[in-house]
Amino acid sequence: MRRAFVPPADTLIAFECAARHLSFTRAAEELHLTQGAVSKQVRHLEDRLGVELFRRVRQRIVLTDAGRLYLHDIRGALEQMFAATRQVMSYAGSADVLNLAVLPTFGTRWLAPRLASFARRYPDAGLNLSVRLQPFDFNEEPFDGAIHHGDPVWAGAIAERLFDEDVIAVSSRAFRDRHDIRVPADLARVPRLQLATRPLAWRQWFDLAGVETDSAFQGARFEQFVMISEAAIHHAGAALIPRFFVEAELSAGRLVSLFDLSLQQTSAYYFVYPENRTMRPVVAAFRQWLMDEARTARSGREAMLPG
């Protein structure tokens, strides 16, 4: 597409804002312009496109069919432009910036509380975190690394093991006492919380505990561990959650471990980063810090294990 064919960004922004509010006046307030300036920019856009985008009906404006189609098509492009601008502005004041893809619960419950330590060790490094649930191509996404759960397989990337998953059954103390939970078989008769992405977890736990039940798959389903833990804290049911996700809740007594029994998964958590960025100082610094934090966390858990 020839560059001269694309309308100026200010006219597109004025149109999107006016279309969203269906008002030149409210668009002017949001953009800190006059109502006349917004109307003029939209008119220039219509003249450039040769298409009427709004119908003026008395004191209000209504999108035409062409206007609705154009709004739908350019909204995503404008949001990408705004996101790219915000991201590049984050480099201001930082010697180097790391763009990291994280799993939502890992990022919220384990990584975020430790980031102040990284900032103290590397005060000149910037950090941008975004959520990604599935592996992606580092050549097509603007990331320098990712937190990955599964197998150490990621095309074009190095995967370094952080720690395994030690899954335990937890609930609130009030839930445990109200349902008189004393032995693993008791969990077959109480409400249980299920993770949608791990439908076999309770079946595997009951098998490990030697409990025969037909109700292993029953219970409310949630998309993320953070949702399950909050539901468990508020007495909604028993949950299977990796120990390191709920260490703070266990220490504070908001959750209790129901049995000295843990489900060891074959999958693990990894820090993955593309082979062609291993020499970037910020990637090397974050990798070293993250591996140190994971080693400390593993040592702390091992010290708590019985025997």
At residue 301 the predicted structure's pLDDT band, cuts being 50, 70 and 90, is: low
Q: Any idea how long the chain is?
A: 307
Regarding whether 47 and 131 lie in a shared domain, the answer is no
Residue 94 has pLDDT above 60, yes or no: no
Regarding whether 116 and 256 lie in a shared domain, the answer is yes
* Helices within the chain (DSSP H only): 9-21, 24-31, 35-49, 65-89, 104-105, 115-121, 173-178, 201-209, 225-233, 247-252, 281-304
CA-atom Rg of the chain in angstroms: 26
Residue 307 has pLDDT above 50, yes or no: no
* Structural domain range at position 85: 3-89
What CATH number is given to the structural domain containing 81?
Answer: 1.10.10.10
- Of 7-16, 20-29, 71-80, 115-124, the least confident: 71-80
The confidence score (pLDDT) of residue 214 equals 92
At residue 109 the predicted structure's pLDDT band, cuts being 50, 70 and 90, is: confident
Regarding whether 76 and 205 lie in a shared domain, the answer is no
For residue 52, the Cα-to-chain-centroid distance in whole angstroms is 40
* Cβ neighbours for 91, distance < 8 A, ≥ 6 positions apart: 97, 126
Regarding whether 265 and 122 lie in a shared domain, the answer is yes
At residue 306 the predicted structure's pLDDT band, cuts being 50, 70 and 90, is: very low
Helix (H) or strand (E) holding 239: strand 238-242
Regarding whether 99 and 85 lie in a shared domain, the answer is no
The confidence score (pLDDT) of residue 303 equals 42
Rounded to 5 degrees, what angle do the CA atoms 17, 28, 55 make?
60
Which residue is listed with tokens 């960025």? 277
Regarding whether 257 and 184 lie in a shared domain, the answer is yes
Nearest one of 181, 216, 208 to 265, comparing CA atoms? 208
* Cβ neighbours for 252, distance < 8 A, ≥ 6 positions apart: none
Cβ atoms of 149 and 268 within 8 Å: the answer is: yes
CB atoms within 10 A of CB 207: 14
Regarding whether 55 and 114 lie in a shared domain, the answer is no
The more confidently predicted of residues 133 and 87 is: 133
Residue 178, amino acid: R
Which residue is listed with tokens 């091992």? 302
How many domains are contained in the chain?
2
pLDDT above 70: percentage of residues in the chain? 92
Look at the alpha carbons of 218, 221, 224, 230 in this order and tell me if their dihedral is positive or negative: negative
Residue 263 has pLDDT above 90, yes or no: no
The two tokens of residue 233 are 């804290």
Which of the listed residues 58, 73, 89 is the one where a domain comes to its end? 89
The two tokens of residue 59 are 């004191």
Regarding whether 102 and 16 lie in a shared domain, the answer is no
Regarding whether 222 and 106 lie in a shared domain, the answer is yes
For 26-78, write each residue's pLDDT tens digit: 999 999 989 999 999 999 999 989 999 999 887 789 999 999 999 988 888 88
Q: What is the mean pLDDT of residues 125-129?
A: 86
Which of the listed residues 50, 69, 89 is the one where a domain comes to its end? 89
Regarding whether 227 and 100 lie in a shared domain, the answer is yes
What is the overall mean pLDDT for the chain? 87
For 145-166, write each residue's pLDDT tens digit: 999 998 888 988 999 999 888 8
Regarding whether 157 and 279 lie in a shared domain, the answer is yes
Residue 227 has pLDDT above 80, yes or no: yes
Which of the listed residues 68, 89, 110 is the one where a domain comes to its end? 89
The confidence score (pLDDT) of residue 290 equals 95
Q: Whole-angstrom Cα distance, residue 267 to residue 248?
A: 23
At residue 83 the predicted structure's pLDDT band, cuts being 50, 70 and 90, is: low
Burial of 165-204, coded b for 16+ CB within 10 Å and e otherwise, reads: bebbbbbbeebbeebebeebebbbebbbbbbeeeeebbeb
The more confidently predicted of residues 249 and 87 is: 249
- Of 17-26, 99-108, 117-126, 296-305, the least confident: 296-305
For 179-219, write each residue's pLDDT tens digit: 999 999 999 999 999 999 889 999 999 999 999 999 999 99
At residue 4 the predicted structure's pLDDT band, cuts being 50, 70 and 90, is: low
Beta bridge partners of 63: 54
At residue 84 the predicted structure's pLDDT band, cuts being 50, 70 and 90, is: low
Regarding whether 65 and 22 lie in a shared domain, the answer is yes
